[in-house]
Structure 1
Amino acid sequence: MIEDSRFAQDVDDVVPETPTLPDGWTAEDPGAGSAELADELIALLGAHQEAARGWSSAGPDDIEMRVSEVAALTHANLVVRDPEGAVRAWGSVQDRATNRMIYDHVVARDLPGADAERCSRILLGWAEGQAREVGQARGLTTQQIDAGAFADDERQHAWFRAAGFAHARNWWQMSRPVTPDEADLVDDPARWEADGVVFRLVDREGSNMPADDDLRAVHDVLESAFLDHFNSREETFAEFLHRLREDPGHRWHHWWLAELEGDQGWEPAGALVGTLVENADGPHASYVDYIGVLSSARGRGVAKGLLRTVIADAARRGRDSVGLEVDADSPTGADGLYTAMGWVTKYRTQSWHRDIRV
């Protein structure tokens, strides 16, 4: 299990001395957070999303994933407050895997240009300091910062470019509507079989917790399936399990395995990990966090069968859609399968990378 955070616990150790904030402004670690802080961060993130892509989807889950006691082992946060104490900027880092630190960067859209620039530079300098801390704790010589931006957010792009980041990848954020009749898309999302492939939920033991063997099988399949994918990084079983379980949308009954019959019996060939997306003003949705198929099993309909399973499951639960993220530059052509099965791109995002010498 993960026992200790690799991030610097004293903000003063990693917040840059320059640039300085305007008089009366402060930069601080918000801690595990409170209801008041959560409301401020939701409003800040929502305004950022609306300005960059046209609408907001920010909610409590976005905050809980980053600023909570559960998240503290693998996340660190910095907020910048104005003289009235209002949060005007927020940086969040996640120790995701070996040599991969995820970074979220949010600066209030109504700030004057000079103030926004200083807040941005403070956050980026703090993220650089945290990258060194994580890299040192992992025994690395360089530590990657993996930052995200909306495709049309030129302000964010300019800040990242000036800080030494490079545009590394494009992503399509896709969604597919779900209709009630699709509940019968498969015989039973818990277990069904087609063309020699068995699709089933991970087994549950007496305590109703999933069987360890099945969880390890999901991890092994995904690690192997993504070996040749962009920016793939080795993640231990403990890190993998902790990270997915800390997601507020995590549900054990959204984990599936696909198996093919081999010399040793039924053997894992594919896996899908899904989550619940709760919507305050409408039906909930399902989301595909991961779907992977072993190279030896490709061409057998495994990926399509897993996708049909999650669609049927969503329909039976009264969900209105299933979302997923696609590497727009992937050579595998996965987007063709998604498009053929009804997924459409809602918006686009980018990855920006910077390697920090530890």
Structure 2
Amino acid sequence: MIPKDNRFQSDPDGILADSDHLLDGWQVAAPDPSDRFDVARLTQLLRAHEDAGRGWAGASVDDVLVEVSEQGLRMRENVVVRDPEGTIRAWGSVHDRAAGRMMFVHVVERDLEDKIADSCSRLLFEWAEEQARAVGAARGLETQQIDTGAFAGDQRQADWLSGAGFRKVRSWWQMKRPVEPDEISLVPDPDEWEARGARFRLVDREGGALPDEEDLRAVHDVLEQAFTDHFNSFEETYAEFLHRLREDPGHRWNHWWLAELVDDVPEGLEAPAGRAPAVGALVGTVSESSSGPDASYVSYIGVVDAARGRGVAKGLLNTVIADAARRGRRSVGLEVDADSSTHAHRLYESMGWRTKYVTESWHRHVPVTEPVEESVDE
């Protein structure tokens, strides 16, 4: 059963049954997350998409389940395009990420002949446009952004996106650095340490319980403040933020850090009574591997303006590297905006990160309501 807070249309056939792009004998429907064949096929399609786009595949069944499981459907909707034999040939997923921003996954089988592939692609775009109108209307918006991506150099995907009215708006460097065992000594203790008036620590947590809510809210608040002026920043509620990050297959509470100022605190920085003001946060995850040591990944790192220039970002990065070293991880990855006004890539490069591949953001803005043509009386 789809939860109440899903704002999408749940019947793909109701959107696409009369589409000019639906081939004779083909069908559109929602995938069945309880059907292992559906999940396996979606995983196969996604891995082939990655392999064609960047040269290797990394997606797993868990990545697919983030999109199609009952929990995922709280904020998502999916459609698959099946050929006359029932085989899934294309898959679309939309994610109500934040007010005004809808993420869109667009995957079409790589071995289809061009004419059929084009039809499948157009079906996915048509479906996504209607879903954008649905979620935008539910949120009371006039315009809904569709945010989707492509691997740099994937010309087939780029051609489809530009043909559907999307515009490439940003490039992202996907960076990685190796981790050496002796780098555990980069910080005194990855769980908690201090330097230059700043304390770096894991979010408070007792046993297997949920972390301290004030700590989790502090992480959310820091990241919201840190990214306010960044590209395509949309306000995300605490509940949306927490739900989304806990969905990540690599989510681990012991990969969430806060940075607090304990000395020389600038005026204007506030904190609950008895607590030091939080000025930085890093949310990490684990990237599991079946062929060798796992890796760590920096999903988010942010520092509020009032604390920049005090080594907070570097301290958080050294902390996650040291933590990876003590866990026997092989590397730490992260993503950086190629056009960032803060030039964050300079810090990452100085600390050993190098670009492994490049992705692109493509946007389209959809009017939530169709314009009404005015009649002219003769």
Matched residue type, 1:74? M
Where does residue 115 of structure 2 map in the other structure? 114
Aligned equivalents of 1:181, 1:16: Cα separation in 2: 60
Where does residue 223 of structure 1 map in the other structure? 224
Counterpart among 269, 276, 280 of residue 270 in structure 1: 280
Bigger mean CA deviation after superposition, 261-270 or 159-168: 261-270
Contact 1:145 1:353 in 2 (8 A): yes
Unaligned runs of 5+ residues in structure 1 are: none
Where does residue 88 of structure 2 map in the other structure? 87
Matched residue type, 1:193? E
Q: CA deviation at 1:206?
A: 6.7
Q: Does 1:352 align with 2:362?
A: yes
Aligned equivalents of 2:286, 2:4: Cα separation in 1: 27
Aligned equivalents of 1:122, 1:219: Cα separation in 2: 37
Q: CA deviation at 1:207?
A: 6.0
Where does residue 341 of structure 1 map in the other structure? 351
CA 16–222 in structure 1, closer or farther in 2 if over 3 Å, else same: farther
Partner-residue secondary structure (3-state), 2:169: strand
Q: CA deviation at 1:66?
A: 0.8
Partner-residue secondary structure (3-state), 2:309: coil
Q: CA deviation at 1:305?
A: 0.4
Bigger mean CA deviation after superposition, 279-288 or 305-314: 279-288
Bigger mean CA deviation after superposition, 186-195 or 30-39: 30-39
Matched residue type, 2:226? A
Q: CA deviation at 1:116?
A: 0.3
Bigger mean CA deviation after superposition, 292-301 or 37-46: 37-46
Counterpart among 323, 330, 350 of residue 333 in structure 2: 323
**How many percent of aligned residue pairs carry the same amino acid?**
61
Q: CA deviation at 1:10?
A: 1.7
Partner-residue secondary structure (3-state), 1:271: strand
Where does residue 8 of structure 2 map in the other structure? 7
Where does residue 193 of structure 1 map in the other structure? 194
Partner-residue secondary structure (3-state), 2:96: strand
Partner-residue secondary structure (3-state), 2:16: coil
Bigger mean CA deviation after superposition, 286-295 or 258-267: 258-267
Q: CA deviation at 1:95?
A: 0.6
Where does residue 61 of structure 2 map in the other structure? 60
Partner-residue secondary structure (3-state), 2:239: helix
Contact 1:7 1:130 in 2 (8 A): yes
Where does residue 151 of structure 1 map in the other structure? 152
Contact 1:27 1:79 in 2 (8 A): yes
Bigger mean CA deviation after superposition, 78-87 or 151-160: 78-87
Where does residue 371 of structure 2 map in the other structure? none
Matched residue type, 1:22? L
Where does residue 304 of structure 1 map in the other structure? 314
Partner-residue secondary structure (3-state), 2:68: coil
Deviation string 1:39-65 (CA, Å, 9 cap, x unpaired) is 111111111111111111121222121
Matched residue type, 2:312? V
Matched residue type, 2:16? V
Deviation string 1:309-352 (CA, Å, 9 cap, x unpaired) is 11111111111111111100111110000111111111101000
Contact 2:92 2:107 in 1 (8 A): yes
Unaligned runs of 5+ residues in structure 2 are: 369-378
Aligned equivalents of 1:271, 1:18: Cα separation in 2: 47
Q: CA deviation at 1:164?
A: 0.8
Give the TM-score normalised by structure 1.
0.96
Where does residue 304 of structure 2 map in the other structure? 294
Partner-residue secondary structure (3-state), 1:281: coil
Aligned equivalents of 2:62, 2:227: Cα separation in 1: 27
Q: Does 1:38 align with 2:39?
A: yes
Where does residue 373 of structure 2 map in the other structure? none
Q: Does 1:174 align with 2:184?
A: no
Q: CA RMSD in A?
A: 1.4
Matched residue type, 1:352? W
Contact 1:16 1:122 in 2 (8 A): no
Aligned equivalents of 2:222, 2:254: Cα separation in 1: 18
Where does residue 162 of structure 2 map in the other structure? 161
Aligned equivalents of 1:210, 1:202: Cα separation in 2: 6
Aligned equivalents of 2:15, 2:303: Cα separation in 1: 41
Give the TM-score normalised by structure 2.
0.91
